[in-house]
Structure 1
Amino acid sequence: MGHRHAHRAGGADDVIEVRTPTRVGLLVGLALAGVATVVGIVVWWPSGEESAVGSASYAADGATFEHGVVRAVGEPCPVQEAPSEGCGLVTVEVDERRARVQVPPEVLEAGLAPGDSVELLKNPVGEGGAPVYSYFATDRDGTLVWLLVVFLAVVVVVGRQRGLFALASLTFGASVVWWFLVPALMGGAPGIGVALAGSSAIMYVVLYLTHGLSLRTSTALAGTLVGIAITAVLAAVAVDDARLTGISDDASSLLRGFDDGLDFPSLLGCALVIAGLGVLNDVTITQASAVWELRAASPSATRREVYAGAMRIGRDHIASTIYTIVFAYVGTALFVLMLLSVYDRSIVELRSTEQLAEEIVRTLVTSIGLVLAVPVTTAIGALIAGPTRPAPPPSPAPG
């Protein structure tokens, strides 16, 4: 008994015949994985109680944040020399008064100019009862807004309906990260478990919302879940085997300063899983589509032939995606690489330092999970979209 399952975009999904046993096996497997995902989210859902690191005030009691406008800019203080008198000062109009505020040299070097908006920290207790202002940040809302508008316009105009679905998926994924993943980790939940539950939940919604309800999408989802599981196992093993601490930058060091209740190696394992999620989704949906299109073009081809053809496409995709991962991590770790280049030891000799080893492990773990997801997804697709059975010969006309 066959079944044809329609895809939102139509095409190959309308002509491929999928037998009931394979269809049921795929959907039952996804249902069980979905149940496990829901259980994980329920078990590790933040209770609302105080997190493992407690809480902290961003500023001293009584201090407030005020917005002001720069009216005059002084000369920046020299970085490697003794500062000259009056250097690094800007005049800011705030609270209907003008205040002279010291700013870091890099802020002035970035082009701070009269008319720019800045955010100041206002301490109400100063000499003679006058408030004291200090520089906190440059107001960049204008740039962020026009970039966001351009991004949304480009996605909608070029992607059309799919672009809208992608934006909705992005919103859902960000919500899971902010409302579940981060609070659960702050509450002391295991990093790998939270990563598996959160990543799986995101992929269930993102894939079906963006690409439609179809067996093609279900195949990609199955491959993605397997890839997530592989990446999670590798992350746990690699972080433990390399004795990585998970504390390699100012943010993690500052977080640890609040409390020692967090398991930073476990948090690093979670970060490794999340890091490869987007690229993993990309290759699995591509492989599922490749299988479906090849099957539609060659209905009578064997599963082995379809698998081999789709893997030829997958190998090209693997090569380009590996470059994407490596260069993305080089971009995020560029300052670390530049800092290491200053020392009198080569990058090769410094490979075991916390900062560099963490980036190497991150790149290799996500790449391995990505590469293995390609043959897994292709095999699932070739199994689901089997060859079309020949039509039975016409029965002889009654004599």
Structure 2
Amino acid sequence: MERRFAGSVRPPCPCKLGCAAVRALWNTQAGRGVLVTLGVLVLVTAIGLAVLWPRGEALDVQEIVAGETVGGTVTAVIEGGCEEFSAPGCELLAVELSSGADAGRTTTITLPGDEDKPDVEVGDEIRVLGLDGASGLGFESDGMPPGSESVETTYVFIDFERGFPLLVLALLFVVLVVGFGRGRGALALCGLAASLALVLLFVVPAILQGGPPLGVALVGASAVMLITISLTHGLGAQSAAAMLGTTCALLLTALLAGLFIELAAITGLVTEEARLLRGSSGGTLSLSGLVLAGVVIGALGVLDDVTVSQASTVMALRRADPALGARQLYRAALTVGRDHVGATVNTLVLAYVGAALPVLLIFSTQDVGLGTMLQREAVAKEIVATLVGSIGLIAAMPLTTGLAAALAVRLPAGVLGHGHAHTHTHTHTH
């Protein structure tokens, strides 16, 4: 008896599948229009990267505290003995430095006696700052921790060393992504690495060099989208529809964000970090522009999720029933999309609420009304980001679904999507 199994052989090379999908798109009028539009988008993005790419000197952003940050291990903790130069409740730490000019030597660090004093114990790995221009311990005390030496630089506590737990968590994440997603998961990690590289090597330095925050964010987001979608999901009708849908929704998000940040008078001066950045740059950085750039980049992740999912849904429906027309595909996929958008909007809102939770707690303890609290910039900024991102998300869903449906009915089922549509059948005799 003969039985036919789909997927019984290894699928063809993804590169060949991508080329076949592009050729199939080019053979239709709608497909050619999409490919030409994507070509223009790639060209504009490349020109934007070339023009805005950081080169030369960055803005003169002064260091808040000059010095070198090094690692160390706490070898002893003594309570008290430092009240003459610090508040009551202070502690003296003996720290063996593990890097820097004084590596291998042990110095004494004072933890001020205030309510924000960290709970440091013997054996903790910490980060300390060597203050430029400050020499010696600055004091002598009979209560100094054992093993302390007099070094030529004064060190102060900065933070705990978190490299190892973060590395373990990152490795766990990588193992789970690759273990569950296999090849697709590995490609997703490559896309994630490319996204982070673009943000760190292009977006941040370009803004620091005085580039327009909105322009930098749009170019950076477009480059991230093009790389991650094509790398993770390949080339073809699904990716083409997702890219165009994401681009249109991203432009709408940027337009609405710019408009309502201006109308709501969002200055960006609500956090200590923003004020320090503004002051250290001499007022040359546009903090409202940074808020706008943050909204655009933050919206990209959820937009990618919705557009890729909707395009994939359309292609799956078309493969399952090639007789479906564009309108039928659109309606069927839209039903799935409504559920997806509802869940994603809720996720987006909760993410911004979580980010603003400390501010909400502070305002809730004050005698202010709900209306007053919502109009405070710290809260209003999150409201604008949430609503603008949600509007872009909602707009992306029908737009991408329509594009995908229009392409799907004009292409043979064999070139829709990748992997599933290209799996061959083999005949096995039993």
With normalisation by structure 2, the TM-score equals: 0.79
Deviation at 1:317, TM superposition (A): 0.2
Instruction: Identify which range, 268-277 or 117-126, moves more after superposition.
Output: 117-126
Among candidates 89, 94, 109, match of residue 91 of structure 1 = 94
Unaligned 5+ runs, structure 1: 1-5, 77-82, 390-399
How large is the RMSD of aligned CA atoms in angstroms? 2.6
1:278 is matched by which residue type in structure 2?
Answer: G
Match of 2:71 in 1: 67
Alignment map for 1:29-48 (pairs within 5 Å): 29-48=37-56
Unaligned 5+ runs, structure 2: 1-11, 81-85, 98-103, 140-149, 413-430
Match of 1:251 in 2: 273
Q: Aligned equivalents of 1:348 and 1:313: distance in 2?
A: 36
Match of 1:56 in 2: 62
Change beyond 3 A, Cα 1:310–1:248: same
Among candidates 396, 404, 409, match of residue 386 of structure 1 = 409
1:164 is matched by which residue type in structure 2?
Answer: A
Change beyond 3 A, Cα 1:328–1:383: same
Alignment map for 1:216-227 (pairs within 5 Å): 216-227=238-249
Cα pair 2:52 2:206 within 8 Å, conserved:
yes
Cα pair 1:325 1:363 within 8 Å, conserved:
yes
Cα pair 2:90 2:113 within 8 Å, conserved:
no
Q: Aligned equivalents of 2:240 and 2:50: distance in 1?
A: 24
Q: Aligned equivalents of 1:25 and 1:125: distance in 2?
A: 68
1:56 is matched by which residue type in structure 2?
Answer: Q
Cα pair 1:340 1:347 within 8 Å, conserved:
no
Among candidates 116, 122, 128, match of residue 130 of structure 2 = 122
User: Is residue 2:352 matched to residue 1:342?
Assistant: no
Change beyond 3 A, Cα 1:100–1:198: closer
User: Is residue 2:111 matched to residue 1:102?
Assistant: yes
Q: Aligned equivalents of 1:188 and 1:380: distance in 2?
A: 37
1:295 is matched by which residue type in structure 2?
Answer: R
Instruction: Identify which range, 64-73 or 368-377, moves more after superposition.
Output: 64-73
Q: Aligned equivalents of 1:243 and 1:49: distance in 2?
A: 31
Instruction: Identify which range, 297-306 or 359-368, moves more after superposition.
Output: 297-306
Q: Aligned equivalents of 2:382 and 2:76: distance in 1?
A: 42
Change beyond 3 A, Cα 1:181–1:130: closer
1:65 is matched by which residue type in structure 2?
Answer: T
Change beyond 3 A, Cα 1:266–1:237: same
Q: Which structure carries more relative contact order (alpha carbon 8 Å, separation 6+)?
A: 2
After superposition, the C-alpha distances for 1:283-339 in whole angstroms (9 at most, x for unaligned) are 000000111111122222221111111100000000000111011111111111111
Cα pair 2:71 2:126 within 8 Å, conserved:
yes
Instruction: Identify which range, 154-163 or 371-380, moves more after superposition.
Output: 154-163
Match of 1:155 in 2: 177
Identity of aligned residues (%): 36
Change beyond 3 A, Cα 1:75–1:284: farther
Q: Aligned equivalents of 2:68 and 2:410: distance in 1?
A: 69
Match of 1:3 in 2: none
After superposition, the C-alpha distances for 1:262-300 in whole angstroms (9 at most, x for unaligned) are 222222111110011111100000000111111122222
Q: 3-state DSSP class of the match of 1:351?
A: helix
1:233 is matched by which residue type in structure 2?
Answer: L
Match of 2:420 in 1: none
Deviation at 1:107, TM superposition (A): 6.5
